[in-house]
Amino acid sequence: MEKKDKLKQLIQSLHDGMGQNEARAIFKREFGQISGDDLSQAEKQLVAEGMPITEIQRLCDVHASVFEDSITFLKKPEKGSLPLDQTPGHPAFVFRKENDGIERFLAETFLPALNQFAESGDRAALTDAGQRLAKISQHYKRKENLFFPFLEREGVTAPPKVMWGVDDEIRDTIRNLNGMVEDGGREDIIALANQAVTDVRSMISKENNILMPMMLDKFTNEDWQLIGRDSSEIGYVFTGDAEGAAPSDAVTWYQAQTGDDSNVNVATDGEIKLPSGFFSTRELEAVLNTLPSDVTFVGADGKVHYFSEGKTRVFPRTRSIIGRDVENCHPPKSLHVVEKLIEDFKSGKKEEESFWIQKGGMFILIRYYAVRDKEGTYLGVVEVTEEISGLRSLEGSKTLLSE
């Protein structure tokens, strides 16, 4: 029996109720150590055989407690060079340093604020700490939008989906805590805050001990360069003054690797002729980036073909998503909505659909349209996203130029 099949059997036994201590003993006896690829292939096979992602997600912490200290690197650093996750400015190094910063924030800021609240009922410090902890979403967004596409390209599909689902659970816990901390019951707040700490720390361990080995084994230097190029689009959090992990250090690393990136992914200029007129590629790019909406096109093959890069974007987009399966661009909890919408567009049941979100002072309108040629052949779907709170407040008429 192949290694991945034995590992798959062990994971299945965990889901069937085997105790962690027994599973850990079997694992050490049968395997000792595994690669991230071994774990990925085992989980992928279980999903292919019908195990829901949500079931793997439910026992994600159990898997981690059994496997995470035993995942080894297949790809070794070149002789005389530092491992990538120890190289200042490298995306892997910055990601690890962010996790160090998250742990430091929990220990030095969040937990003291929670203890103060438990002792005195003072909510001010915990309110501030909870709002600051919510910034962890940017750390997760970089992982989901930059790391996961390259893993998926290499056939590592189940772990990203599972991890994204757990990320969303953590986001929800922090959001619920911040909604409760103002006037909720003390015991409920303490319980939810402790749950947030436990879940965040568990994710730090998974990222450092499971995700990182997978990435270091699978990613090429070009992959890391693309990640380094696009990381600033989403931003960094919790690095503080960590040496080698500031945004400027990340930029310095990228520039040392590639030099000027002004010509990366820039279309050569030429004429695009349409029935009602024409553009140069330069003009078309500028027009699409000038529109007040974010435009994303997913082709009939289910892959992301294009997105606009306007000055103000509602949601982050990075160039690494080009060619990514659209189903992998969404968290597991909303995947069924995406799949149903595309199915209805392909069948002709629907031509458009709209959603809207109120977030802080913003009102975000998201519209989807089926794209078809003159013969009605389905070509894909275009997503148009716009923040329209200003439009909603318009009244009367305006017929004169602004001063």
- Identify which has the larger pLDDT, 260 or 176: 176
**DSSP readout, 244-271?**
T-SHHHHHHHHHHHHS--TTTTPPPP-E
Task: Count CB neighbours of 283 within 10 A.
Answer: 13
Q: How far is CA 350 from the centre of its chain?
A: 29
Q: Does residue 252 sit in the same domain as residue 364?
A: no
CATH number of the domain encompassing residue 340 = 3.30.450.20
pLDDT in tens, 173-182: 999 999 999 8
Selection from 238, 221, 202 nearest residue 97 by Cα = 238
Q: Does residue 188 sit in the same domain as residue 238?
A: yes
Q: Is the pLDDT of residue 283 over 50?
A: yes
- Is the residue at 217 inside a domain? yes
- 30 contacts 1 by C-beta, under 8 angstroms: no
**Dihedral angle over CA of 193, 197, 200, 206, nearest 10:** -140
Q: Is the pLDDT of residue 50 over 90?
A: no
- Per-residue pLDDT, 107: 97
Question: For the chain, how many structural domains are there in total?
Answer: 3
Amino acid residing at 216: L
- Identify which has the larger pLDDT, 312 or 64: 312
Q: Is the pLDDT of residue 110 over 90?
A: yes
User: How far apart (Å, rounded) are the C-alpha atoms in residues 216 and 228?
Assistant: 14
Which of 49, 72, 95 is the endpoint of a domain?
72
Q: Is the pLDDT of residue 158 over 90?
A: no
**DSSP readout, 32-83?**
S-EEHHHHHHHHHHHHHTT--HHHHHHTHHHHHHHHGGGEE-SSPPPTTS--
pLDDT category at 62 given cuts 50, 70, 90 is confident
- Is the residue at 263 inside a domain? no
Give how far Cα 345 sits from Cα of 98, 325, 328, Å.
41, 17, 19
Q: Does residue 231 sit in the same domain as residue 141?
A: yes
**DSSP readout, 93-114?**
HHHHHHHHHHHHHIIIIIHHHH
Q: Which domain holds residue 45?
A: 3-72
Q: Is 88 exposed, middle or buried (0-12, 13-18, 19+ CB in 10 A)?
A: middle
- Per-residue pLDDT, 72: 65
Task: Identify the bridge partners of residue 307 per DSSP, sorted by sequence position.
Answer: 296
Angle, helices 36-48/3-15, rounded to nearest 10 degrees: 60
Q: Does residue 88 sit in the same domain as residue 51?
A: no
Selection from 289, 259, 287, 291 nearest residue 274 by Cα = 287
Which of 233, 258, 283 is the endpoint of a domain?
258
